[in-house]
Chain A
């Protein structure tokens, strides 16, 4: 009577341990993903879909699409721009 419940409990704990171990492993490892996730989260994501982790930016396409931004230098980590304080001046725009 004592042995059976205890044996069942231990069995359940063992199964639980081995059952959760893979889940914990997959949660923690960013490299577990098969996708080529850039290794440097500080890299600017908004510039092109070029490889961020590589050292040298592409140089061959800079003149092809002036509207397309190429890779930033690796040490860049731009802050988000905020709204500006308005200047109390009368405009001289075309109106």
Chain B
């Protein structure tokens, strides 16, 4: 209490010990808080991500001017040689189905729908996407998901009874921008890896399926197309700004 005596004490004694004690108490508080419980849930969340099946996929983009596709892995017969870029000028891409060592089994953009082949992993660059497009033809709707999250859903038009849209697993092969957003293909058009089962050719092409926009939304919610999936111009524009080539597309009856 004597100021003089107080001033003779080592500086670190009177004010320091209570301060250190306060710091020590504060250091204890975080350890007693819920942070340790939060971290395991974050870790658990990351573990769940690693062990759950993905909703997106792996995309293989050809590095050279062409790529050999084989019927089996490990140097079997070459069944296709595909050029890159493709006929529209887009980098040749595939959706990876499985791997075996240095070989990738990929979906092929050719008939019959669902065809696969094997390519060497060294011939492509592999990227990953969590986007996925699900088409529900019975409900005339599409849903775009990213991981487990639904991002966008909307109405669709599908093929007529004479020119039906074939269900199956496909992927986007290219993104085109027509000159007239008010035209038949709307503001944008994604090509699909699949083809019509009834049309061998259409508009000078091989009967390739697509997902494209339309400014005539009266056709959405019905059987109106020659096999393509039609969405509104707003929805196709949203997709064009986000979805990469190679995004898996699942068309369900």
Contact = CB atoms under 8 A, between A and B. Distances in A.
A and B physically associate? yes
Interface of A: 5-6, 8-10, 12-13, 15-17, 19-20, 22-24, 26-27, 33, 35, 37-38, 44-49, 52, 57, 59, 62, 66-73, 76, 78-95
A80 B192 CA distance: 21
| Majority secondary structure of chain A interface residues (helix, strand, loop or mixed) | loop
Which 6 A-B residue pairings sit nearest by Cβ, starting from the closest? A92-B205, A93-B210, A23-B31, A16-B24, A45-B50, A81-B244
Which range holds the interface residue count of chain B? 35 or more
Given A15-B28, A37-B43, A69-B98, 9 more contacts: A24-B31, A59-B100, A71-B99, A84-B245, A86-B177, A92-B203, A94-B205, A94-B208, A95-B225
Nearest to B59: A81
Given A33-B43, A68-B98, A80-B129, A93 B27 contact: no
A70 B26 CA distance: 49
Nearest to A82: B244
B241 A78 contact: no
B215 interface: no
19 contacts: A5-B18, A9-B20, A10-B17, A15-B24, A16-B27, A19-B32, A20-B31, A23-B30, A44-B128, A62-B100, A70-B99, A73-B99, A84-B244, A89-B178, A91-B210, A92-B205, A93-B202, A94-B196, A94-B225
Contacts of B184: 95
B99 A47 contact: yes
A69 B47 contact: no
